[in-house]
Amino acid sequence: MTLEGKRVLITGASGDLGKAMAHTFLGLGADLALQYRSNSSPIDLLLKEAEKRGREAFSVAVDLAEPDGADRLASEVLRRWPSLDGLVNNAGGARPQPFDEITPDAWERALHLNLTSPFRLLQLLLPALRKQGGSVVNISSVAALTGGAFGPQYAASKAGLLGLTRSAARDLGRYGIRVNAIAPGPVESAMTSSLDGPVLDGIIGATALRRLVDPREIAETAAFLLGPGSAVSGQTLVVDAGRHFI
């Protein structure tokens, strides 16, 4: 597998999955645009790694939950790169809340971050992707399939991302653009490591493999979907250690 010379934008690059994907893609020869909101320390390390590997990389600090966040990010990427090989819509999240405590603002913020911004980025970057017949990977969640435990605003927006994936794949295939989604299950991360022992044990016990997903496993799946020569499009790959079966 190689991504030699491919230009790839990763959103949410400072998080556990974003960092794993950036490391993996750099190792496969990609050049990277790295979006993050506020945590610059991991981004600085990634930029240094890219320099050591002789790869081009740059970062853009922008909040994709803000109304103009996706527009500002796309503008900066297009200013530097007129063509793009890959887009990974990885930025996302929501604060867990009981159903009856979710405010309209919390609902709108989750939908904007998890669904509207990925749509807007794809729309704005489409001319650059068309030049290369690029590949888009949307990072959804098994919560889109099960409802999850992060609240309806998270599950609904991540389920919407799966619908966007299928619709975009159908419409953009004529340009040679492939669009797929990954639905991660419980990932080994700072968040899961902070959980109470019994809660974490219950999560692990509900997986067929009796373990958490390593972020590198998500990164390797994304690299496969970004790589050349694949006929996979419009699909959702569930990577959850066997927690949910479809």
The CA distance from 246 to 192, in Å, is 24
Is 175 an annotated catalytic residue?
no
Contacts of 201 (CB under 8 A, 6+ apart): none
Contacts of 68 (CB under 8 A, 6+ apart): none
Tell the burial category of 245 from Cβ atoms under 10 Å away from its Cβ (0-12, 13-18, 19+): exposed
- What's the burial of 99, exposed, middle or buried (CB within 10 Å: 0-12/13-18/19+)? exposed
Options 25, 36, 81, 154, the catalytic residue: 154
CA dihedral 80, 57, 13, 29 (to 10 degrees): 120
Residues catalogued as catalytic = 154
